[in-house]
């Protein structure tokens, strides 16, 4: 099966069971680069302004792509309001809370609190009845979560009164993104990744762009170094547009819990990059943590594949 509304994604690629997994791996690598790069930009630019640029540039880029492909409009008008609501949770609140929280807390706090995203995703999916809650699935996600906690080491986090506001914003960000992942599968599958994400970012930019402009007026933007603008462009395209598209593709192919649990790979990617570019040493703790994370991701993915196969067989019998 491939996107009925988006033949841009090759049918042969879409049929491959590894394509959503490869997409999710790329998503984590690209999202994993965001905290460090965003910290550089946030040193000179207000958080709300960065969100405004990030969302608006992504919206413009996707509009250009879809205009070239002549695939701008949705077939079902009711999907406009559905994507509008998804934009609120998946981009507007998600980005404002994440970037705002990142500027008010430590990077280690942010990584540790990201462990809650799969928990929120699975909880929302179970409440809505879109995914069955099983002990095996809970155990797999918990296993990966323990690996992340072991890797980051909670002793490096600092949950003090100075970071409380930022920490709460990151938790709310996790809840918002969890709701988005748990509820977006049907409408994205129906309209395709490109068209869906274009409208999600268009709706979000209607809120984020005005807020960003007002926020930018509080600083001297003309004094920004050219490097800052290049980093903003990378954040918008490399760390936003591309991973959101790949994530949307994966959401249409696998269960919400699988999409969410892959988030646990981000800290591993960050540590590997640090060892390559910053000559940091990967010790035994990293090896054990990596094993736990990969084991949890593998088990969650396998359970999802088994469930999908059972559903398909049941459908064929009927």
Extents of the domains making up the chain: 17-317
- Say how far apart CA 90 and CA 204 lie, in whole Å: 9
Retrieve residue 59's tokens.
């919206």
Assess contact for 46 and 216: CB atoms under 8 A: yes
pLDDT band at 158 (very low <50, low <70, confident <90, very high): low
User: 236, 243, 127, 104: which is closest to 182 by C-alpha?
Assistant: 127
Residue pair 287/241 in contact by the 8 Å Cβ criterion: no
Q: How far apart are CA 150 and CA 296, in angstroms?
A: 14
User: Using 50, 70 and 90 to split pLDDT, how confident is the model at 290?
Assistant: confident
Higher pLDDT, 8 or 190: 190
Greater confidence (118 vs 232) lies with: 232
Q: Where are the alpha helices (DSSP H) in 192-283?
A: 193-216, 226-236, 242-251, 256-261, 265-277
For the chain, what is the mean pLDDT?
A: 82
Round the CA-based radius of gyration of the chain to a whole number and report it.
19
Percent of the chain scored above 90 by pLDDT?
A: 42
Burial of residue 307 (CB within 10 Å: 0-12, 13-18, 19+) is middle
Please tell me the predicted confidence (pLDDT) of residue 191: 94
Query: In this predicted model, which residue has the larger pLDDT, 233 or 11?
Result: 233
Question: Which residues have CB under 8 Å from 233's CB, separation 6+?
Answer: 57
Tracing tokens 């395709």 back to the chain, one arrives at 192
Residue that is written with structure tokens 């600083």 in the block: 219
Q: Name the residue with higher pLDDT: 204 or 171.
A: 204
- Predicted pLDDT of residue 11: 43
Q: What pLDDT does residue 94 have?
A: 93
Using alpha carbons, select from 205, 172, 148 the residue that is nearest to residue 98. 172
* pLDDT exceeds 50 at position 121: yes
Q: What is the pLDDT of residue 152?
A: 66
Q: What is the pLDDT of residues 201-211, one digit of tens each?
A: 999 999 999 99
Do 235 and 37 meet the contact criterion of CB atoms below 8 Å apart?
Answer: yes
CB distance 247 to 258 below 8 Å: no
CB of 118 closer than 8 Å to CB of 261:
yes
């Amino acid at each position: 099966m491939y996107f009925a509304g988006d033949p841009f994604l090759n049918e042969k690629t879409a049929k491959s069971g590894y394509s959503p997994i490869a997409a999710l791996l790329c998503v984590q690598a690209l999202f994993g680069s965001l905290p460090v790069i965003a910290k550089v930009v946030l040193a000179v630019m207000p958080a709300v302004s960065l969100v405004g640029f990030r969302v608006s540039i992504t919206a413009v880029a996707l509009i250009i792509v879809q205009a070239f492909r002549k695939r701008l409009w949705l077939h079902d008008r009711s999907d406009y309001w559905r994507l509008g609501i998804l934009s609120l949770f998946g981009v507007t609140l998600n980005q404002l809370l994440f970037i705002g929280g990142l500027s008010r807390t430590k990077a280690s706090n942010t990584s540790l609190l990201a462990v809650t995203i799969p928990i929120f995703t699975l909880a929302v999916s179970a409440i809505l009845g879109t995914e069955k809650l099983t002990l095996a699935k809970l155990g797999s996600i918990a296993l990966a979560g323990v690996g992340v906690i072991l890797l980051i080491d909670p002793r490096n986090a600092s949950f003090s009164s100075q970071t409380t506001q930022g920490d709460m914003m990151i938790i709310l960000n996790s809840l918002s993104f969890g709701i988005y992942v748990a509820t977006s599968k049907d409408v994205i599958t129906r309209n395709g990744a490109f068209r869906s994400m274009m409208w999600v970012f268009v709706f979000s930019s209607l809120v984020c762009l005005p807020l960003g402009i007002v926020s930018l007026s509080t600083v001297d933007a003309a004094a920004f170094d050219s490097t800052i603008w290049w980093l903003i462009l990378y954040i918008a395209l490399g760390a936003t547009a591309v991973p959101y598209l790949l994530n949307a593709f994966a959401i249409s192919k696998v269960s919400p819990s699988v999409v969410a649990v892959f988030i646990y790979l981000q800290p591993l990617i960050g540590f590997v990059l640090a060892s390559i570019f910053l000559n940091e040493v990967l010790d035994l703790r990293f090896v054990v943590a990596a094993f736990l994370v990969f084991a949890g991701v593998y088990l969650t993915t396998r359970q999802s594949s088994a469930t999908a196969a059972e559903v398909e067989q049941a459908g064929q019998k009927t």
